[in-house]
């Protein structure tokens, strides 16, 4: 039996351990309670169902990829075109690192993300909001022309899909993948310049 | 027993019928010979192995999506920017039609395309060559700036991945998918303009 207070973060870390060792089929409330040496009631106190637990750990995983991006989006020392390029490169390298460090866990979270589509949709909405901020800053600075920064954010996000959608993960390790992403960014940034 | 000469095209059509009815696990030489009412030796005369037969039917399927595109690429009555937009819209709508007409057959060919990666690579190389032609024409006409039309072709192909890679097929029927592709094309075309 473990000692000390049982908080949500501890439960989620144990859930990820279970996922890492046993894949997406495991990670029920009972599995996690067993690993922590606590009653399942004390897990239910934080997460009222298996679905809630799995959704919460999925949201934590997605947030992990999102936090370094928020820092880039807010870094007004970088001019908006350079910031847009850095943002996409950071998104790509962060996801590629998560994949290469633990391919099975990456695959497990891909299954969970498909199961919890509202977590995935919220994640994408937050990424689009970060991009919108960079594009709006570019409009203010005169670097970009965009009548609708949210729509433009969606367009540049869709145009870089091959470098962040997990369906394309098998190609991320190929030589030249990052250079190819940079070529797309360069073309998009040129396309955004006022004329 | 069927009568008349047995040509490769007849065999491939029968192979596609077998695939349509039974999925990718079927479509061996024996299955196809049975459907045609011929000996398996007469199928082997055209396709020396199961792998050769399956690769040939995959190449025919991929070619089906490619032929209308060749016509667009060669249509010099359209200015290069408009031709590029038409080319990508045709690629998208052709694939979406194949998907909506027979989703199981589309899924079957996705399995076959993964099995025969050289057929898939050759297909992409031919598409890139068509795009290269449009971009080179745009450089000649002064509509586009590109130091390397083949590299630019690869970049615009990668930037539209969500609208032709079958991993994204589930999203092709959503309202706004074609408009989203057009927004990417508009941004890419602006990015290609000389400055």
What tens digit of pLDDT does each residue of B94-128 get?
Answer: 999 999 999 999 999 999 999 999 999 999 999 99
Domains B8-44 and B58-192 share a fold: no
**Across the interface, do A193 and B193 touch by the CB < 8 Å criterion?**
no
CA–CA separation, A151 and A146 (whole Å): 9
Least confident range of A16-20, A57-61, A62-66, B95-99: A62-66
Which is it for the CA torsion B107, B112, B118, B122, positive or negative? Answer: negative
Q: How confident is the model at residue A59 (pLDDT cuts 50, 70, 90)?
A: very high
Residue A30: half-sphere exposure toward Cβ, Cα within 13 Å = 2
User: A192 — contact with chain B (CB < 8 Å)?
Assistant: yes
* CATH class, A8-44 region: mainly alpha
User: B101 — contact with chain A (CB < 8 Å)?
Assistant: no
B92 chain-A contacts, CB cut-off 8 A: none
* CATH class, B58-192 region: mainly alpha
Do residues B113 and B95 touch, judged by C-beta distance below 8 A?
A: no
Q: Which CATH number applies to A56-192: 3.30.365.10, 3.40.1180.10, 1.10.357.10, 3.40.640.10? A: 1.10.357.10
Question: What ipTM was predicted for this assembly?
Answer: 0.91
B156 chain-A contacts, CB cut-off 8 A: 187
pLDDT at residue B64 in the model = 85
pLDDT at residue A3 in the model = 55
Closest Cβ opposite residue B158 in set A154, A184, A193 = A184
pLDDT in tens, A74-85: 999 999 999 999
**Across the interface, do A167 and B168 touch by the CB < 8 Å criterion?**
yes
At which residue do the structure tokens 């799995």 appear?
Answer: A54
Distance, in angstroms, between B125 CA and closest chain A CA? Answer: 16
**Across the interface, do B183 and A155 touch by the CB < 8 Å criterion?**
yes
Closest Cβ opposite residue B162 in set A156, A158, A183 = A158
**Across the interface, do B195 and A192 touch by the CB < 8 Å criterion?**
no
For chain A, domain boundaries: 8-44, 56-192
Q: Which of A72, A26, B60 is nearest to B52 (CA)?
A: B60
């Amino acid at each position: 039996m473990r000692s000390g207070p049982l908080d949500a973060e501890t439960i989620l870390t144990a859930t990820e351990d279970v996922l890492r060792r046993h894949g997406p089929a495991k990670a029920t409330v009972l599995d996690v309670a067993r690993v922590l040496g606590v009653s399942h009631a004390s897990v239910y106190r934080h997460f009222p169902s298996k679905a809630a637990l799995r959704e919460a750990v999925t949201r934590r995983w997605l947030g992990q990829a999102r936090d370094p991006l928020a820092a880039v989006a807010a870094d007004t020392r970088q001019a908006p075109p350079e910031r847009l390029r850095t943002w996409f490169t950071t998104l790509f390298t962060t996801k590629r690192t998560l994949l290469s460090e633990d391919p099975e866990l990456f695959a497990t979270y891909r299954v969970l993300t498909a199961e919890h589509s509202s977590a995935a949709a919220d994640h994408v909405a937050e990424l689009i909001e970060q991009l919108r901020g960079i594009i709006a800053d570019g409009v203010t600075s005169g670097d970009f022309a965009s009548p609708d920064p949210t729509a433009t954010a969606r367009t540049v996000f869709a145009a870089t899909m091959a470098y962040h959608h997990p369906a394309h993960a098998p190609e991320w390790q190929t030589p030249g993948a990052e250079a190819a992403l940079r070529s797309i960014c360069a073309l998009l940034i040129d396309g955004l310049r006022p004329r």
